[in-house]
Amino acid sequence: MYVFDTSLDSASRIDSAQSTHRLSFRLPDSVLRRARRDRRKFLQGREGLAMPWDADGRVTFTYSVASERSRPVYCDRRDQPLPARQLSQVRAGSAVRLTLRQVRKGGGRPGTRLEVLKVQLLHVDAPLPGGPAAPHSIQSFDLQLPVDLAQEVERLAQAEDWSTTAWLRNAIEQQVARSRARLSNHENAA
């Protein structure tokens, strides 16, 4: 199992109109060394036909959308599953944390292949279930904030490793929940 942070190459294609999707990325040098060592163990001295990566360590993983077996799990930075409608945010240049595994090729052919098990988008937040946030919520609107408040938001976001939009969305959701609770108390008193 290999877990590492990288970004997707320009050859990556995630398009809801297509029946196959393609992820293209480069393996970091440390992962590439481990993958070569694991490949030698898998093949036990036999030579495989082709490496699952090119000379630069680039991997192209293609899978069928209809196949449950080969399709990776997509999740946001908090490790929450992404709804299918948010896969449009996966594009070339996206910062991702990938989880891969190397397996033998099937059918008695010598060689190995790399499977992408999970794609974690490091700068995307899935909408919270049941909460006021939605795909059209604060994430898609610019807020005019005083400079001192904007600096405080940025400081907190960096300290807690949150994206600024996620921090703002969560702060606004908390304020909305408090306001709703306060309003429901006033209705009961009336």
Q: What is the pLDDT of residues 3-57, one digit of tens each?
A: 999 999 988 888 777 888 899 999 999 999 999 888 888 888 676 667 788 888 8
Q: Please state whether the predicted TM-score (pTM) of the whole model is above 0.75.
A: no
Please tell me whether residue 114 adopts helix, strand or coil conformation: strand
The residue ranges of DSSP E strands in the chain, in sequence order, are: 2-7, 20-26, 58-64, 73-75, 95-104, 112-121
- Encode pLDDT of 101-156 as tens digits: 988 877 767 788 899 999 988 887 776 655 544 444 444 445 555 566 666 666 66
